[in-house]
Amino acid sequence: MNYDKRNISTNELLGLLHEIDGRMQTYLKKPRLYACGGTLMMLKGLRETSKDLDFLLSREDNLAVSGIVRLAELQQNVRIDLFPDGRLLSYQLEKYWEGAKPLHCGTRRLDIYGVDKTTFLVMKLMAGRQHDMEDLQKYCPPGTVPREAALQRYADFRVDAAHKETTEKKFFSHLDTFCPR
């Protein structure tokens, strides 16, 4: 897949969600997409663009939406990452839905949720890039998430052995900034 995609604006994100929603068949259960990272910030009005769209979802919901999402991705020349069962590149969070809140995006066949602030914070700290720290300043300024909650949520992540040391270093190098002792 070509990852040289263009940035996506908030209006385009909402349009894509409506496009995907409109192509969905009627299912007994509405698929749930859990926005995280820059996607969540866009839906909360804290960021205007993102290089990609990131959603966590169940394996069952991934089967229901992945074909439609890929078609929209190709037609619109954007990158949409779906992470079934909370499995990202180097770690997994099985209970990604804990504390998630519905986001009202006007979709009828999709339920869109945002991961909770603690999960958002931990994911950004684990990534540890400069723009992640900037995102945290906007969405989870220092002191917003209690330190114990962040540590407990971090313990819920299963990090691949090959990335454990690096991920741990990133997480703890900025923890004191955002979750003071």
87 and 40 inside one domain: yes
**Residue 125 lies inside a defined structural domain of this protein:** yes
161 and 97 inside one domain: no
Look at residues 82, 115, 148 and tell me which one is the last residue of a structural domain. Answer: 115
How many whole angstroms separate alpha carbon 55 and alpha carbon 123? 13
**Residue 1 lies inside a defined structural domain of this protein:** no
How many whole angstroms separate alpha carbon 15 and alpha carbon 68? 14
Domain that holds residue 134: 119-178
**What is the per-residue pLDDT across 13-36, written as a single tens digit (0 to 9) for each?**
999 999 999 888 766 678 999 999
**Residue 38 lies inside a defined structural domain of this protein:** yes
151 and 96 inside one domain: no
How many whole angstroms separate alpha carbon 57 and alpha carbon 173? 29
Look at residues 87, 115, 143 and tell me which one is the last residue of a structural domain. Answer: 115
Supply the pLDDT for residue 28: 63
**Residue 3 lies inside a defined structural domain of this protein:** no
110 and 148 inside one domain: no
**Residue 58 lies inside a defined structural domain of this protein:** yes
**What is the per-residue pLDDT across 143-168, written as a single tens digit (0 to 9) for each?**
999 999 999 999 999 999 999 999 99
What is the residue-averaged pLDDT of the chain?
93
140 and 102 inside one domain: no
Look at residues 100, 115, 130 and tell me which one is the last residue of a structural domain. Answer: 115
Return the SS3 of 33.
strand
What is the count of structural domains for the chain?
2
Supply the pLDDT for residue 22: 87
Consecutive H or E run containing 61? helix 59-76
96 and 41 inside one domain: yes
Using the predicted structure, report yes or no on whether residue 113 has a pLDDT greater than 60: yes
- SS3 string of 83-152? EECCECCCEECCCCCCCCEECCCCCCCCEEEECCHHHHHHHHHHHCCHHHHHHHHHHCCCCCCCHHHHHH
How many whole angstroms separate alpha carbon 92 and alpha carbon 87? 4
Q: pTM value?
A: 0.92
- Mean pLDDT to the nearest integer, 60-70: 94
12 and 71 inside one domain: yes
25 and 61 inside one domain: yes
**Residue 2 lies inside a defined structural domain of this protein:** no
Supply the pLDDT for residue 1: 45
